[in-house]
Amino acid sequence: MEKGDGMANNQFLVFTKRPSGNRGIGGRGEYELAGESNGFKSSELVGKHFYIHLYDKDYPTPVHLTNQGGKPRLRLSNPNDRKHVTHIAGLVASLLMLPSPCRSESKASHALPVLQDDAYLLDVSCRLLDVAEDVAIVEPVWLTARSGALTDDIHTKIIEVDQRVSQIKEMLEHASASLLGGVVNGQLSTFKHAIEGPGEDFYYQCRTSVDAIMDALADVDADYLNGVDSLPFLRSLLKLYVLDIEDIPSPEALPPIRTNSDLNKAVQRRQRAERWYRRKEGRGASASRFANDVMIAYHRRCVVCGLELPKTGMGRSGIEAAHILPWADFDLDVVTNGLALCRNHHWAFDSRVITLVCNDARRNTYILRPGDHYEEFEQSVSLPNEIVNELGERGSRPIDEALLPADKAFRPSPDYLERFNGLFSLAG
């Protein structure tokens, strides 16, 4: 490295698309490089060709930096080769299984979720890793996706790249044709091969496989709407994630309509979104009753640590009613499918860092044990951590009976816990 030394500072280079001033808000504008990292300003990288560091590999790009009009402008080696060539935002989106970003403000959907095919813009914030001769290696750290104006927080989504990569790796590890269908699983194999052994067409292979997954997923998952980010839905099918309302487009969110095929997709998406929203809204009263009943049964204390974190002022309670078997899959709003958990232990339970078992039909004894991801979590934390330490040297401990519902009829169902703990073996 010619300047700086590794993580010398927290500044970043940002690959961004600025709207064209002389063509109005709808113009494509120019791709620019802004900011600085490791002692290099963007202007000092003129003449460099960029490599993207992801998945512990350095992927070459057809993008280089020039100096035009006094600003660092990003240019393509062969701008007419649309099969293999696109700018950094499109390349990173392909490698991270994101829908294709658009290139002009006029195409932004101004709808949720932000990540919809050809309907959002993407800026890529990177850490500069190395500079050598005519090459600069950059590592994406976070992405700023937006479907609205730059100042519109509602239609802006920040994506942490490390988290996204971890989720993709986990999903690829658990992928199976029995859970995802042969077409989707086959395309995931193509994507995995493309990122593991990048050949001449690896970007094109990534993009076409991601697009094919988005086209085929609607036949596998009734909740999926064509053209939105497929990763949450793939992880949901593999029992690695519970879908959130933020993953589902609003009924008003339609893809750009340019062909009859686009129109058919738009109609299908509207129908699916409206059905999903009706189902979600219809659940409201049941969800409120479930949360209230669980809180009363557990005296609003976390069953794992015993904390009481009541609502104060304008804040929310720190104790939450958690489902054992995910509501999205089992539709069980009953107290015996619930646990009162503080937010830390709610996260740890849903993430399978910890779990509960009960081998006692009389519901007298519940054991806190490591979950499927406990070892990975334990290795990833460097400081003393309550979740790691609380299992003790024996690796498990009984739940204090005083923290369980006094009425045993409201205690967690051993059958639900057994089913929950067995769900994830299906993904293997």
**Beta strands 135-146; 49-54: pairing state:** parallel
pLDDT in the model for residue 284: 61
Q: What is the pTM of this model?
A: 0.62
Q: Alpha helices of 197-259 — where are they, by DSSP H?
A: 202-217, 231-237
C-alpha 78/C-alpha 62 separation (Å) is: 8
Domain positions in the chain: 13-278, 285-423
Quick one: CA dihedral 101, 212, 94, 71, positive or negative? negative
pLDDT in the model for residue 26: 44
Q: In sequence order, what are the residues at sequence separation of 6 or more whose Cβ sits closer than 8 angstroms to the Cβ of residue 165?
A: 54, 55, 96
- Are the CB atoms for 232 and 245 separated by under 8 Å? no
pLDDT in the model for residue 336: 92
- Are the CB atoms for 96 and 168 separated by under 8 Å? yes
- Tens digit of pLDDT at every position of the chain (428 positions): 343 443 334 589 999 987 654 443 444 557 889 999 999 999 999 999 999 999 999 999 999 999 877 777 898 887 666 555 578 999 999 999 999 999 888 888 887 788 989 889 999 999 999 999 899 999 999 999 998 877 777 788 999 999 999 999 999 999 999 999 999 999 999 999 999 976 778 889 999 999 999 999 988 887 787 788 999 999 999 989 887 766 765 545 554 555 665 556 556 666 666 555 555 555 666 677 888 899 999 999 999 999 998 877 656 788 999 999 887 667 788 899 999 999 889 989 988 889 999 978 788 899 999 988 888 888 887 766 777 677 766 678 899 999 999 999 999 999 889 888 887 544 43
C-alpha 165/C-alpha 92 separation (Å) is: 11
pLDDT in the model for residue 276: 58
Model confidence pLDDT, tens digit, residues 93-128: 999 999 999 988 888 888 778 898 988 999 999 999
Question: DSSP string of 319-367?
Answer: EEEEESS-HHHH---SGGGEEEEEHHHHHHHHTTSEEEE---TTS---E
Q: Which of 225, 217, 218 is nearest to 245 (CA)?
A: 225
